[in-house]
Amino acid sequence: MNIILIGMPGSGKTTIGKRLADILGMDFRDLDCMIEEETGRSIPDIFRESGESHFRDIEESVCRKAASFENTVISTGGGAILRQGGMSLLKESGKVVFLDTPVDTILERTDFSGRPLLKDDAGRIRRLHEERISLYRLYADIVLDNAGSADETLKNAVNVLDRV
């Protein structure tokens, strides 16, 4: 069984995912890193040179590959939930955990300079949250409050996952 982390950009999916994988003795994969490895291009370059739609095509393809992993904590990109095909396969491969992080918390703890959709307008995170929150909840098997520290979120994640 895999654990698939979803949530807004800057919600801590990679940070929490790496630590959770260590605690649970699982592998860890970051889908954004997989995209960069497969394409040989950075995500900002893909957005700039090919556009968001092309990026989402690549992201969906990587989601499909990741769905074949076993015993892996998978950190998705914030927009992975925008494509049903890849998300449905990921959901079938394990438990989807939504890191529910308040927008103000994201704005306080995140440097958006390397994030193509947010780097020029950090306020856009509020609009993205409004657009995406229903999709995060739709795909989530587990919703974790991620307003506190990473340690608090990890403790809650381990407790919840032990009962699943």
Q: From the annotation, which residues make up the binding site for Mg(2+)?
A: 14
Query: Which residue, among 23, 34, 28, has the nearest Cα to 2 in the 3D structure?
Result: 28
Could you list the residues known to form a binding site, using ranges.
10-15, 32, 56, 78, 115, 132
Q: Which residues contact 49 (CB under 8 A, 6 or more apart)?
A: 41
Residue pair 76/31 in contact (Cβ under 8 Å)? The answer is yes
* Three-state SS at 104: helix
Could you list the residues known to form a binding site for substrate, using ranges.
32, 56, 78, 132
Could you list the residues known to form a binding site for ATP, using ranges.
10-15, 115
* Three-state SS at 29: strand
Query: Which residue, among 114, 118, 119, has the nearest Cα to 36 in the 3D structure?
Result: 114
